[in-house]
Amino acid sequence: MIIGVINAKGGVGKTTTAIYLGCAFAAEGKPVTVIDLDQQGSASRWADLAESADDPLPFPVEVSNVGRLDKTITRAGQNAVTILDTPPGDTRSIDAAIKVSDFVLIPTQTSLIEVDRVWETLPTVDHLPHGVLITSARLGTKSLDEAVAALEANDIGVFRSRIPIRESIRASFGATPTTDEGYGSVAREILEAIS
């Protein structure tokens, strides 16, 4: 299963989602590979820092690019959960990830600028199972309710799970997350959607 984590906007939680989702699947005993397609290399940097601290992630993070993506996926194996961490604004990488994905996850925050970028992304994934994941959510707020209502009013699939805004999530960069912060539920929703 290949999961593309995409959004044209940066800073919405793509890398955090890729790493935490990888940990959630690994906790279920599934072999996982995260493929870092972002030139900034945040996912691979996360993995390197965790390994240097003797706290390695429970899966490999492979660096790749559009030209090598098929080979990198083949190395990950057909039985693995492969998660593609894509860069913001790089349409070639985003399109390549969509092309090979079985499911597309679109993380977004609830401000208007983040939700606005979701509309740009959706036409490219209409043919695939996909869902919008609200990240850095302030639970019980008007902005969260309005963002979800706007997405649902346009028949856009939104994950039931919300990833709350937490310092523990932000502070986990460079370490193996010790709690799943809701990503275990996200993993289960993905499995439901593609089964």
Measure CA 78 to chain center.
19
4 touches 84 (CB < 8 A): yes
CB atoms within 10 A of CB 157: 14
Q: For residue range 41-89, list pLDDT tens digits in order.
A: 999 999 999 999 999 999 999 999 999 999 999 988 877 899 999 998 8
SS3 assignment, position 178: coil
pLDDT tens by residue, 132-165: 999 998 888 888 888 888 888 888 889 999 999 9
**CATH fold group of domain 2-194:** Rossmann fold (3.40.50)
pLDDT digits 0-9 by tens, 10-42:
778 899 999 999 999 999 999 999 999 999 999
Phi, psi for residue 136 in degrees, rounded to 5 = 50, 40
| Backbone dihedral angles phi then psi of residue 31, each to the nearest 5 degrees | -70, 135
pTM of the model: 0.93
Domain ranges within the chain, ordered by starting residue: 2-194
Q: Is the pLDDT of residue 119 over 90?
A: no
pLDDT of residue 118: 75
Residue type, 136: S
